[in-house]
Amino acid sequence: MDRLHMRPCVQQQEKKTPVLPPCPPQGLPGWASAVRTLATESTNGDLQRFVRRNSEAMIDWRNGTAPGQQEDESSAQERSECVLAYIPVVYYSTLLCVGVPVNILTLVALYRLAVRTQKALYVYLLALTGSDILSQLFIIFVGFLLETAVFHRDVPVLLLRSVSMMEFSANHASIWATVPLTVDRYVALCHPLLHRQISYPARARRIIAVVLTLALASGVPFFWWSDMWRVSRAPNNLDTALIWTHVTIIYFLPCCIFLVLNSLIILRLRKRQRQQMCQDESGQQLAVPCKLGKTTAMLLAVTSVFAVLWAPRTGVVLYHLYVSSVHNDWRVHLAYDLANMLAMLNTAVNFFLYCFVSKPFRAAVRDVLLFRGGPLHPRRPLHHQRTAANASTSSISSSKRSQREITPLSPKRADIKI
């Protein structure tokens, strides 16, 4: 009996308490009208319970954001999807499996040529190849495959920032190792006498040591580099400074150096070609244009490929800084992934350029692949051999002259001499 009596009472009491939304979407007028309705249909205790129950909603409303609007903003700030799915993982794995053995083969072949010829050119190429191997290990293997694909960047922040710093250091070293090579070729073609005096392997090793030290030190500020894929906020002043420092170090400054020096080299070659054609015409001979040297052709190919492959990444990074974020726009995300894939391709193409241009390099690679023990003893440089040969010929001629002065002349020869 008591239970049957209590049930309708509870139902009637529940009917008296209206259920209102915690924060009406109409803002302050809607919420005030709801409070007035509640005040007319309920007691003062019900109003206190209602206010206590909706205090959190009032705080959120005072901050200017309704719960529905918060859900919309959180969904709008979700990370952009990776359109390529597993294609980057397959691509970087293939590039690593092909690029590292190829660069090791290049390293061995260049070392043999450097020991055999004692030329500074091969010292610079050795430094470039070693920097490419470091870039493949830190950027592709550790950065893309291990941290991103395997661990999904679920590692300590200190480790993430340390690896990021090493990635930028290896990247800067790989790019700036080409600059001393370009300067060496410019001096060799435009100032050959000076090149014979200052270009030798010991000096080249010291120059490479200084360049690599500065390149590795330049990666320290990028310890605070923000992850473009996962940071949803807009780039701040620190991000802007780091991005501009990055694109200046890896692209704008090296490309300016390459453009100026390569232009001077090409102008010098054209001037020599015109001089040769004028000499041939004055001597009534066929004008045969001078050919582009293989070393110069190799340099132009390496610098041109670098400028082409790294241009998309530089443009996408600046687009991310000023237009649209990689985190929010899937199109920028896609462009950034493709630009990184093209940039990393630069670490594995130099071997094929060397094979296409240089016949001694092809011979050295063939010897390495066939396990032929080429002559590794150092030879004297060419100008030393020429100096020794000139010295020997001069000594022989001087000895012949002394013998002629000592031996008496025959009467017939004396008459002729007189």
Position 271 pLDDT exceeds 70: yes
Compute the average pLDDT of residues 311-320: 93
418/409 Cα distance (integer angstroms): 11
Using a cut of 0.75, tell me whether the model's pTM lies above it.
no
Number of C-alpha atoms within 13 angstroms, CB side, residue 263?
Answer: 6
Secondary structure (3-state) at 318: helix
Compute the average pLDDT of residues 295-317: 91
What are the helix (H) ranges across 152-236?
157-176, 178-190, 192-198, 201-217
What is the pLDDT at residue 81? 66
What is the pLDDT at residue 403? 45
Structure confidence by residue, pLDDT tens digits, 205-261: 999 999 999 999 999 999 998 877 677 787 889 999 999 999 999 999 999 999 999
What is the pLDDT at residue 107? 96
What is the pLDDT at residue 273? 80
What is the pLDDT at residue 172? 94
Q: Which residue has the higher pLDDT, 211 or 403?
A: 211
Average per-residue pLDDT in the chain?
A: 75
336/326 Cα distance (integer angstroms): 7
Structure confidence by residue, pLDDT tens digits, 105-148: 999 999 999 999 999 999 999 999 999 999 999 999 998 888 87
Structure confidence by residue, pLDDT tens digits, 18-60: 444 454 444 444 545 554 554 454 445 554 554 455 444 433 4
Compute the average pLDDT of residues 5-22: 44
DSSP single-letter state for residue 150: I
Please provide the distance, in angstroms rounded to a whole number, between the alpha carbons at the two ends of the chain.
163
Closest by CA to 295, choosing from 176, 122, 177, is: 122
Q: Output the DSSP codes for 70-119.
A: HHHHHHHTSPPP-TTTTHHHHHHHHHHHHHHHHHHHHHHHHHHHHHHH--
pLDDT category of residue 3 using cuts at 50, 70 and 90? very low
Residues 342 and 312 sit within 8 Å (Cβ to Cβ) = yes
What is the pLDDT at residue 257? 95
Structure confidence by residue, pLDDT tens digits, 317-363: 999 889 888 877 888 889 999 999 999 999 999 999 999 988 999 99
Angle separating helix axes 253-282 and 294-322, nearest 10 degrees: 150
What phi, psi does 383 have (nearest 5°)? -70, -30
Position 6 pLDDT exceeds 70: no
Q: Count other C-beta atoms under 10 Å from residue 210's C-beta.
A: 11
What is the pLDDT at residue 72? 37
Structure confidence by residue, pLDDT tens digits, 45-102: 554 554 455 444 433 433 333 333 443 344 345 566 677 878 989 999 999 999 999 9
What is the pLDDT at residue 297? 85
Residues 347 and 92 sit within 8 Å (Cβ to Cβ) = no
Give the CA-trace dihedral at 400, 402, 403, 407, to 10 degrees: 140
Compute the average pLDDT of residues 375-379: 50
